């Protein structure tokens, strides 16, 4: 079974609009961390935001927020006020404490922002 | 403050050859992980090095090996290259994760390996 599922291969949004990128995960480990990374065409993976399984509040980092719904096992990324520079591939990833330190990535969602 | 640096940026090799990829971690980081990213896919974990030892390994054959040096830099070696080894190889550095906190990975720009 897929550990990280990103069901949207591509998303299209206009500048200044908000967009939500979906991510669901599967784990039986009570202690885990969820990450979102952005990968522009240059290839570098850029860390955006982190949510721990025991965190009570949703994580926020500037224009990025993580909509963490633990019972549903979802960790959607919300980007507010999209910018042209947000066009990139976005990956959701998980680290399970029992599994060690490896990150498990989803297949990603391509976000295209138009003017 | 230099981030994670990888070399070379691009590499073309022939089937059966061997390749070495290099990585310098972000200043202050002591742990290096390597990931393989095939075209159109998410990265897959190869292995992680901490204190010059392989601490964890993903589902990759023994043809993939690595090393970490006292200055925390790392090498990834791939022997007997196959066409399927063509991918973007990403190095990531962090502080070694502890029970008290998680440390996000900081990635380099990657090495694009093409096997012909």
Give tens-digit pLDDT for B22-40: 999 999 999 999 999 999 8
Q: pLDDT at position B114, please?
A: 98
CB atoms within 10 A of CB B116: 10
- Kindly report, residue by residue over B42-82, the tens digit of the pLDDT: 999 999 999 999 999 999 999 999 999 999 999 999 999 99
- Kindly report, residue by residue over A58-70, the tens digit of the pLDDT: 999 999 999 999 9
Which chain B residue is nearest to residue A108, measuring alpha carbons? Answer: B42
Judged by phi (left if over 0) then psi (alpha if -120 to 50, else beta), residue A100 lies in left
Rounded Cα distance between A54 and A102, Å, is 19
Provide the β-strand partners of residue A96. Answer: A32
Decide if A102 and B48 are in contact by the 8 Å CB cutoff: yes
Are the C-beta atoms of A77 and A64 separated by less than 8 Å? yes
Instruction: Name the stretches of chain A with pLDDT < 50.
Output: none
CB atoms within 10 A of CB B13: 16
Q: Give B69's contacts (C-beta < 8 A, 6+ positions apart).
A: B52, B75
Chain B residues lying within 8 Å of A44, measured CB to CB: 107-110
Decide if B104 and A107 are in contact by the 8 Å CB cutoff: no
Rounded Cα distance between A7 and A106, Å, is 9
């Amino acid at each position: 079974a897929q550990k990280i599922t990103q069901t949207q291969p591509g998303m299209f949004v206009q500048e200044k609009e908000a967009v939500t990128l979906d991510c669901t995960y599967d784990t039986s480990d009570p202690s885990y961390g969820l990450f979102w990374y952005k990968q522009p065409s240059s290839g570098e993976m850029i860390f955006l935001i982190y949510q721990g399984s025991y965190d009570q509040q949703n994580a926020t980092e500037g224009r990025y927020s993580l909509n963490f719904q633990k019972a549903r096992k979802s960790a959607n990324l919300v980007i507010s006020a999209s910018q042209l520079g947000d066009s990139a591939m976005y990956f959701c990833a998980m680290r399970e404490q029992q599994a060690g330190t490896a990150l498990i990535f989803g297949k990603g969602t391509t976000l295209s922002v138009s003017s | 403050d230099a981030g994670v640096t990888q070399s070379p940026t691009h590499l073309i090799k022939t089937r059966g050859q061997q390749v070495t990829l290099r990585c310098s971690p972000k200043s202050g980081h002591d742990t290096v992980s390597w990931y393989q990213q095939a075209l159109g896919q998410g990265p897959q974990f190869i292995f992680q090095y901490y204190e010059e030892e392989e601490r964890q390994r993903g589902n990759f054959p023994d043809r993939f090996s690595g090393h970490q040096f006292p200055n925390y830099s790392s090498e990834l070696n791939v022997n007997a290259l196959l066409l399927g080894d063509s991918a973007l190889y990403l190095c990531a550095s962090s502080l070694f994760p502890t029970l008290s906190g998680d440390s996000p990975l900081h990635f380099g720009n990657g090495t694009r390996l093409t096997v012909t």
